[in-house]
Structure 1
Amino acid sequence: MKKTPPRLSLAALQDSLLQARSSADFDEGAAPTQRDLAETLTFSPGDGRIWMNDQRMLLWQSSTYGSLRRELIASLGQEQARSLLTRVGYAAGARDAELVRRMWPDSDPANAFHAGPNLHRLEGMVRPETIRFEFDIARGDFFADFWWHDSSEDDEHMAAFGIGTEPACWMQVGYASGYASAFMGKLIIYRETACRSMGAEACRITGRPADQWDDPELDLHYFLPDASAPRVRGFSPGASLSATGAPKAPAATVLGLGADAPEPIGISSSFSAACHLIQRVAPTQATVLFTGASGVGKELFAQTLHRISPRAQRPFVAINCAAIPETLIESELFGVERGAFTGATVSRPGRFERAHEGTLFLDEVASLSCVAQGKLLRALQERTVERVGGTRSIPVNVRVLAASNVDLRDEVRAGRFREDLMFRLNVFPIALPPLKERRDDIPLLMEHFLQRYVALHQREVPGFTARAVQALLRYDFPGNIRELQNLVERGVIMAEPGEPIDVHHLFRGGEQLSHEALGLDASGQLTQVPAPVLTLDPEPTRNARRSPPAAAGKGTGGGSDAHAAAELQRYRKAWVAARHNVAEAARALGLSRAQLAYRLKRGGLL
């Protein structure tokens, strides 16, 4: 008896149609378009950086990559080099996918997937052409088939090794796999079925979930570190695998603190150098002097040093020397006996005694008076203190950490600081760089503070606009990390629910950007990117730009101005509702993207 195939309900059929997507669903006018992606690319020649939104980029010659590739093959062998470059490409693809999801969270999944090939083209690696593309996130199904034209990786491989018998687009295959895996939530493996380095006219790649390939082991070992780890010194295989077995991107430097402990955040070279010094000195008993401008996080670094030192289970006592009146600094440091002066009704231990067997942090130590400096020097030398009004010496076992936002040698030359005390404190100096020298850390700190204040103030803020990111990356931060923290908190408070933080939410005190920036115009040429206008209230500036003075001998045109203002307000509401996605807002208004972009720029909103 012939069985009747099961029938789907109408709701199930609709769900199936909504979930199953293909390349036919791709809307070239929907975000993120190629133009949207290009607008995230900014060149900052003033400080020698290129940014794609908040990710630092590099512009280097293809032949330089070819030289690196040849060196890896010569030193590691072809299999190990292929594994290493595949995993590097995977991490790059996963990062680009994360960028697209953050910048366009409401983008249609088909367009978000197609942003990967567009980014690959924008970054100069290859020119992709879609043959077939289908996916179903709910069911975990994925199939992609692409032509790759003009692969730079093939060019360099063939220049060095000629035509061979194996595909050579290793990093690009890793990139495609990482990008698709990030969106699907499972490991997607792309495989080259044709390659120019094998004599084909163009490269061709096919992508499927790892569990849907008949022989995934042919490719899986290139995505695991085991293939290259034995030859790479100091490599930890477990540290670079995600829960799904796919490679993970490297995280920011951490110092092994507890889950609830505040810790410095960063990946820049100067930050990493400071972390290295802290790790070296932490196991010792040496006195450490932190130097750096106000707001760079000297106390946080001191707390970190204490937590990773052998004294971690003992007290950490901090004192801001600039906040204590000169007449009270001695009693604060060394304690006071009952009756020592009027009002001393009880005996009280000082900071040295309270920090016994632990760590004492002296912040802004340069502000101490000469008398207090002499008594501090004696306490450091003798390892004993005498309370004010007391007669006995009290031994203390304290590790001293000090901090200063001025150069103590300059203070010595000016006669404001004792030279012998400076040498006593300057056993192991650690200079903490200002935030403008740690620009690579700004995106990490932005995200950290955003998550903190969204939770603290119970706000719904999805992130930052591209303009806000560029403004923060170009700002010099005279207040350093403390100022960035305050700006992000201000932005979280000012932004409307569901609205990303924009420039006018952050800068409301007349701050000026000091770095010029270059971006890409519609033809792909570099052009000057104007600095955002940072004013206390952006609305008067916008009104001034969109309301020209009335011509002589004519009326004020109040009715016309009111109509124009109402229209601009309508455009702004649609733009904000679309999370500052111009293409999406234009569709909602029944306009083309170019029309809405022109009207927003004319009104001073773009």
Structure 2
Amino acid sequence: MTATKSEISFPDINDLSRLIRFQTDQGKIWLGEQRSILMTLPALAGFRREVLQSLGLERTKGFFMRLGYQNGLKDGEMARHLRPDASVVDMFLAGPQLHMLRGMVQVKPLQIEIDPETGHFFMEHLWLNSFEVEICLSEFGILEDPVCWILIGYACGYSSSALEQEIIFKEVECRGCGDEHCRAIGKPAHEWEDHETFKRYFVADPLIEELYELQSQISALRRNISGTDMLSNAVGHSKAFQQVCDMANKASHSNVSVLLYGETGVGKEVMAQGLHKHSERANEPFIAVNCAAIPPDLIEAELFGVEKGAFTGATQSRMGRFERAHKGTVFLDEVVELTPRAQASLLRVLQEGELERVGDNRTRKVDVRVLAATNEDLELAVKEGRFRADLFYRLNVFPVTIPALRERREDIPLLVEHFLDKYHARYHKKTLGLSNKAMEAVMAYDWPGNIRELGNIIERGVILTDTNDTIGVDALIIGIDESSQNVNALSSTGSLIAESDAIANQANIDASTDWSDEIFRRGIGLEEAERILIDKAMTQAKGNVSKAARLLNMTRPALAYRLSKN
């Protein structure tokens, strides 16, 4: 079905203007979940002039078209979800309305045709008050070619994203090159004969590609800051985390026992795997044991092995984790949960390199490096009699404390990127990453579950978000408490008011709309509606005409006249 409009009126813009929010005490402006800024036109003009002088005309044109294109992509994604019950044309017109709301240009559509089933699209519109024409005329005067580069890029990006097909707009007339007005036409890319040539403006030129490649290399170096000595499976470049990695690197090349301290979810097992991978035992087994997950009456058999008939259910002899890890590494997580007998057996392994299976009196030699971890204070456990002091001293030769995620917040963006890559690959989809608002929520959250919790939340966001969409706050299970923040919104007249007042005003508008719809549904006429209001006011005012007039926002004589008439 084709939706066509030749005489076009825009839908109500309130759904878009409500997206603008001002956090004046935080120095932030939001459009939906994307952070925005206000910048004066003279500043943009100066920037455009310097870029033009530095890059030349063609590169500058491409640069600003790509800038507009990226902006349009984000708005197109937002538009797809903003008006789910509207016609395809009204949904699409959110883009031109956002163009106007941003103060970039006044859009006057002349014709629009959209058929989602066949992919047909055609739009023609005028641009009035283009900010780019104003810059051009003030800085450069009349030029030979159209100058609304950001506007064209935005139109292409927005249309392609909103309609989920490649759309190209071209400016066929422009005031910046002496025409009476700016006029643009948009249609599917394949319908333009020179679309391949035109599309080159949306591809980063060699200079940009080189800078991007350098940035990628810098990011990779930050993740792997000390080359081959760095724990390659650890992600982070904060000073606190780098200090931990430096200590771990020094410990990895020896057989020393390492005791890892840290809250739940900070990545103690990941660190232990890194220690093993970079040790001389890297090609031998790495066996991780969660001591808290094994019943106390089975922990010795699991760790040190059991002989047939040692207890009910022991129908055959089998090796324990330490024998299976011979020449390799055993990682004991939650080591404080070991029973007293298991602690004694572990101490023997550490001191003598030997063990006895449960139900056996034969000594077996084992060559195992022991890494242990705890989220408790082991010294306190020793004082309380829950952990052997001699075992503590043997394990605590090289203690390493891994900081909580809230203590290394600068690593959160890198970790988010890491988990996005991981779950994009797992679920065979590609989102556009976190929105600014979602990233702000992630950065502000205290992460009691640390990296494990962050990974789970990013996984949830990837699952709930469609391919080529941005992960918003709603897709996460964390949020920002803005109850104490100074948040402003736009009123219907364009002035700033408290967001709570804006919400209340909109609620009143919605309520009045529902009330008027009910009047129409019941077939109540204007005179009867007036009589009902007056009677209700007089009842509430207990017959006091002056008070009733105030309730109706009228003068007393005007109400008295209506009372006498009725």
Coarse TM-score class (shorter-chain normalised): 0.5 to 0.7
Query: Over residues 404-434 of structure 1, what are the superposed CA-to-partner deviations in whole Å (9 max), with x where a residue is unaligned?
Result: 667999999x99996885673539x575348
CA deviation after TM superposition for structure 1 residue 190, in Å: 1.3
Change (3 A) 1:329 1:63: farther
Which string of whole-angstrom CA distances, capped at 9 and with x for unpartnered residues, describes residues 275-308 of structure 1? 9x99xx99x967999987656x7489779989x9
Pick the aligned partner of 2:398 from 420, 424, 446.
424
Larger radius of gyration: 2
Write out per-residue CA displacement over residues 316-348 of structure 1, whole angstroms, 9 at most, x where no aligned residue: 75444555678876665x423438986694655
Q: Which moved more, 1:133-142 or 1:286-295?
A: 286-295
Measure, in 2, the Cα distance between the counterparts of 1:376 and 1:60: 66
Q: Deviations over 1:520-572 (max 9, x none)?
A: 232334443459xxxxxxxxxxxxxxxxxxxxxxxxxxxxxxxxxxxxxxxx9
- Conserved in 2, the CA contact under 8 Å of 1:26 and 1:110? no
Q: Is the Cα contact below 8 Å between 1:315 and 1:356 reproduced in 2?
A: yes
Which residue number corresponds to residue 528 of structure 1? 498
Cα distance in 2, alignment partners of residues 145 and 478 from structure 1? 50
Is the aligned partner of 1:100 residue 2:74? Answer: no
- Cα offset for 1:391? 2.5
2:305 match: 336
Contact 1:94–1:175 (Cα < 8 Å) also in 2: yes
Amino acid at match of 2:192: W
Contact in 2 for aligned 1:274/1:432 (Cα 8 Å): no
1:225 aligns with 2:199: no
State the partner residue of 2:430.
none
The change in CA–CA distance for 1:368 and 1:85 in structure 2 (over 3 A counts) is farther
Identity of aligned residues (%): 31
Query: How far, CA to CA, are the matches of 1:63 and 1:122 in structure 2?
Result: 19
CA separation in 2, counterparts of 1:588 and 1:290?
67
Alpha-carbon spacing, 1:70–1:367, altered in 2? closer, same or farther (3 Å): farther
Is 1:90 equivalent to 2:69 in the alignment?
A: yes
Determine if contact 1:221/1:227 at 8 Å carries over to the other structure: no
The correspondence of residues 446-595 of structure 1 with structure 2, limited to 5 A, is 476=445, 479=448, 482=453, 516=485, 518-522=487-491, 523-530=493-500
Distance in 2 (CA, whole Å) between partners of 1:302 and 1:214 is 57
Residue of structure 1 in register with 2:104 after alignment: 125
SS of residue matched to 1:102:
helix
Among residues 11, 23, 36, which one is paired with 2:15 in the alignment? 36
Please show how residues 18-29 of structure 1 align to structure 2 within 5 Å.
18-22=1-5, 24=7, 28=11
The match for 2:148 is 169
Give how far 1:222 is off: 0.6
- Residue identity in the other structure for 1:394: V
In the other structure, the counterpart of 1:391 is: 363
Which residue does the alignment assign to 1:198? 177
Residue 36 of structure 1 and its aligned partner are, at CA, apart by 0.9
- 1:92-125 per-position Cα deviation (integer Å, ceiling 9, x unaligned): 2122222222343333111111001122233343
Secondary structure of the equivalent of 1:97? helix
Distance 1:221 1:319, change over 3 A: same
Query: Is contact 2:107–2:125 with CA below 8 Å preserved after alignment?
Result: yes
Give the TM-score normalised by the residue count of structure 1.
Answer: 0.53
Change (3 A) 1:393 1:38: farther
Aligned counterparts of 1:371 and 1:192: Cα–Cα separation in 2: 82
Structure 1: how far apart are the matches of 2:63 and 2:379?
A: 48
Inter-partner Cα distance in structure 2 for 1:47 and 1:314? 53
Superposition pairs of residues 12-91 of structure 1, within 5 angstroms: 18-22=1-5, 24=7, 28=11, 33-44=12-23, 50-59=29-38, 69=48, 72-91=51-70
- TM-aligned CA distance change 1:142 to 1:396, over 3 Å: same
Q: Is residue 315–residue 355 contact of structure 1 (8 Å, CA) maintained in 2? A: yes
Q: Distance in 2 between matches of 1:396 and 1:108?
A: 69
Give the Cα–Cα distance (whole angstroms) in 1 for the partners of residues 152 and 60 of structure 2.
14
In the TM superposition, what are the counterparts of 1:1-400 in structure 2 within 5 Å?
18-22=1-5, 24=7, 28=11, 33-44=12-23, 50-59=29-38, 69=48, 72-155=51-134, 161=140, 163-199=142-178, 203-225=182-204, 231-234=210-213, 294=264, 298=267, 318-323=288-293, 334-338=303-307, 345=314, 347-351=317-321, 363=333, 386=355, 391-396=363-368
Rounded Cα–Cα distance in structure 2 between residues aligned with 1:152 and 1:74: 20
Paired with 2:397 and 2:137, the residues of 1 have a C-alpha distance of 61
Cα deviation for residue 211 of structure 1 reads: 1.7
Further displaced range: 472-481 or 111-120: 472-481
**Deviation, structure 1 residue 35:** 1.2
State the Cα deviation string for residues 184-235 of structure 1 (Å, max 9, x = none). Answer: 3321111223445435565432212222223334522112335655553518
- Name the Cα RMSD after superposition: 6.5
Q: 1:463-521: per-residue Cα shift (whole Å, max 9, x none)? A: xxxxx9999889956655749969999xx9xxxxxxxx999xx89xxx97665362423
Displacement of 1:162 in angstroms is: 5.1
- Structure 1 61/392 Cα, relative in aligned 2: closer, same or farther at 3 Å? farther
Distance 1:591 1:146 in 2: 40
Give distance in 1, aligned partners of 2:328 and 2:46.
52
> 3-state DSSP class of the match of 2:363?
coil
> TM-score by structure 2 length?
0.56
- Partners of 2:400 and 2:373 lie apart in 1 by 10
Q: Tell me: CA distance 1:341–1:516, structure 2 relative to 1, closer, same or farther (3 Å).
A: farther
* Cα shift readout 1:414-457 (whole Å, capped 9, x = no counterpart): 99996885673539x575348998699999999x99xx99xxxx
> Structure 2 regions of 5+ residues with no counterpart?
217-222, 225-232, 428-436, 464-471, 502-506, 521-566
C-alpha contact 1:19 1:137 (8 A) present in aligned 2? yes
Structure 2 distance, partners of 1:328, 1:129, is 77
Distance 2:340 2:43 in 1: 58
Asked whether the equivalents of residues 99 and 105 of structure 2 are also in contact (C-alpha less than 8 Å), the reply is yes
CA distance in 2, matches of 1:410, 1:75: 65
Matched residue of 1:105: which SS?
coil
Q: Deviations over 1:16-66 (max 9, x none)?
A: xx42422546562xxxx4211222334456766554434444555556655
Shift of 1:394: 1.9
Q: Is the 8 A contact 1:517 1:530 kept in 2?
A: no
Matches of 2:2 and 2:200 in 1, distance apart? Answer: 31
Q: Give yes or no for contact 1:188–1:207 (8 Å, CA) kept in 2.
A: yes
Q: How many residues matched? A: 453
Distance 1:385 1:483 in 2: 41
Measured in 2, the distance between the counterparts of 1:477 and 1:139 equals 49
Q: Distance in 2 between matches of 1:347 and 1:323?
A: 22
- Contact 1:337–1:344 (Cα < 8 Å) also in 2: no
Amino acid at match of 2:487: L
- The amino acid across from 2:4 in the alignment is R
Which one-letter code corresponds to 2:69 in the other structure?
Y
Partner of 1:338: helix, strand, or coil? coil
